[in-house]
Amino acid sequence: MIRLKITGMTCQHCAQTVKEALESVEGVKRAVVYFPQGYAEVEQEEEINVETLIEAVKKAGYGAELMGTSPEVYVPEKDVYDLFVLGGGSAGFASAIRASDLGAKVLVVENRVIGGTCLNRGCIPSKYLIEVAEVYSIPKRNPFRGITLRQDRLSVEEISEFKESMVKELRKEKYLDVLKAYPNIHYLEGRGTFLREGKAEVEGREITFHKAVVTTGSRPKIPPIKGLESINYLTSDEILSIDYLPKHLLILGGGAIGLELGQVFLRLGSEVTLIEALPDILMNEEPELRERLRKVLGDEGMKILTGTKVIEVRRNREHLELLIEKDGRTSILRGTDLLVATGRTPNTEDIGLENVGVETDPSGFIKTNEYMQTTNPNIYAAGDCVGRMMLVTVAAMEGTISAENALLGNRIRMDYRSVPRAVFTDPELASVGLKEEEARESFEVEVRTLEFSKVPRAVISGRTEGVIKMVVEKESSRVLGVHVLGRHGAEIIHRAVPIVKFGLTLRDVIDMVDVYPTFSEAVKLCAQSFYKDVSKLSCCAQ
């Protein structure tokens, strides 16, 4: 059999044309052309000169070359799963789809609900509740004169019911229906465990695999606080499905999850107190932005205690009591419900990683190289269980890269430098690229911040509480990082992603023409502020 790499095919009709061209060559018994994978297999009745086959393909309008020992496409083995994917969330399905596109036979195993954290217990339900809370709270925050709005009815039970129906529909549309479109992907519900090299067990059934990708995700991390195990606390898993409104919600953790959900319940009518052990909220973000966000949330009514340690938790009749320590002094904090939002821990125990030589770090995250390859060269890992950037978009990209590298050899590296992130509070905090402190470790930099009061659309909308910060390499004027706190900050940051990714300069940014008036114009205005006082510019002036 002769295998040829085929180039120039764009559809199944192209594949049929190549097939006919190959079968027209004397001595060819049969030709099979794999369009998605980009190669052809030719069975011979008699010995054929490869150049004759290549010439026939070229005459048909396509390119061809003999496939080498390191093929550009993956040729699946028979009687085994070419790729075993342990985990059925975004990283797992991205792996499976890419592998299927390469012609591989794939098995995806999930021991919980298909769709993973983002769909079922994360991004989708939480952002729905954020939207609900924002709409409900508008009458209290209405910035416009001449109109009066009022809050009427709030049914947390109905909100929860609709949220569940929406998640169920998306689960069907984005996962179950997707499986129907990929016959090469097999799906099993149950617990998967690695047994030994090339072998795994799924609910008592032994399966054989050629390569594997671990995408088992993460779960809420529970801190070792005295008394915590004896009360009915909530995590981000449970609180997204409660059908009542907490009277006084206590939140442990000042990261994205605690802040987002804290503002949701604050706007729906709960009293909210947030406790963070570190000196400030969102310690991995720029200080100017987190300081401003803290003020906005405080003005809205959220009580935020930073540098505060929780020593013990206990229940006293209808109240929860937290024994807290701040600045060496202890006190009692009372509330009705407790949300634990102190980070995430990987789901990597009890899946047999030790049986196949896959190592984890002290926190349980799987060790991978830049190709997403683990310490076992035949096993890759992606998503939260790796712990690089715990974002659904990153998980999907890591999953895609893992599958391709597993099947074709290590060719693609994961690049995190231009990955944007966002905290969906209101205002939203979003970032891409280097922070000022990080940039100063390698570059001489210049920094500017611009108030949203200088952004016309923000003024029109009555949303001037934001600020944007830009970090620039001084010598080249190359933009190294952009950080936004403002209305639609998670949308604005996409304006900055290609600027950072492709190393554009301040002049490149200024020379672009923006739509006016928009919130994203803040990026250009901030770039202009390196050269001019933007308060003295007319609208849209360069």
Give yes or no: 539 in active site: yes
From 34, 62, 136, 380, active-site residue:
62
Residues 35 and 15: their CA atoms lie apart, in Å, by 6
Taken in order 228, 229, 230, 233, the sign of the CA dihedral is positive
Annotation says 371 is catalytic: no
Residue count (the chain): 542
Alpha helices in 252-373 (DSSP H): 256-268, 287-300
What is the residue whose two structure tokens read 């199944």? 12
In our burial notation (b when 16+ CB lie closer than 10 A, e otherwise), range 449-479 reads: ebbbebbbbbeebebbbbbbbbbbbeeebbb
Separation between Cα atoms, residue 82 and residue 113, nearest integer Å: 24
Annotated catalytic residue within 1, 9, 136, 390: 9
Which residue in 166, 283, 512, 540 is the catalytic one? 540
Which candidate, 328, 277, 268, places its Cα nearest to that of 301?
Answer: 268
Annotated catalytic residue within 118, 302, 372, 526: 118
Give the contacts of 529 (CB within 8 A, at least 6 positions apart).
Answer: 448, 450
427, 469 Cβ separation under 8 angstroms: no
Q: How far apart are CA 182 and CA 86, in angstroms?
A: 17
Q: Is 67 a catalytic residue?
A: no
For 73, the 3-state DSSP assignment is: coil
CA distance 511 to 451: 21
3-state secondary structure 243-282: CCCCCEEEEECCCHHHHHHHHHHHHHCCEEEEECCCCCCC
Q: Give me the catalytic one of 34, 123, 175, 390.
A: 123
d(CA 483, CA 391): 17
Catalytic residue among 1, 11, 67, 390: 11
* Long-range contact pairs involving 504-510 (C-beta distance under 8 Å, separation at least 24): 504/478, 504/479, 505/476, 505/477, 505/478, 505/479, 506/472, 506/477, 506/479, 506/530, 506/531, 507/477, 509/479, 510/542
Q: Is 540 a catalytic residue?
A: yes
Token digits of residue 356: 């196949």
Burial class (CB in 10 A: 0-12, 13-18, 19+), 423: buried
Give the residues across from 322 on adjacent strands.
Answer: 313, 333
Provide the β-strand partners of residue 485: 429, 467
Please identify which of the residues 14, 128, 182, 389 carries the catalytic annotation.
14
By annotation, the residues acting in catalysis are 9, 11, 14, 62, 118, 123, 539-540
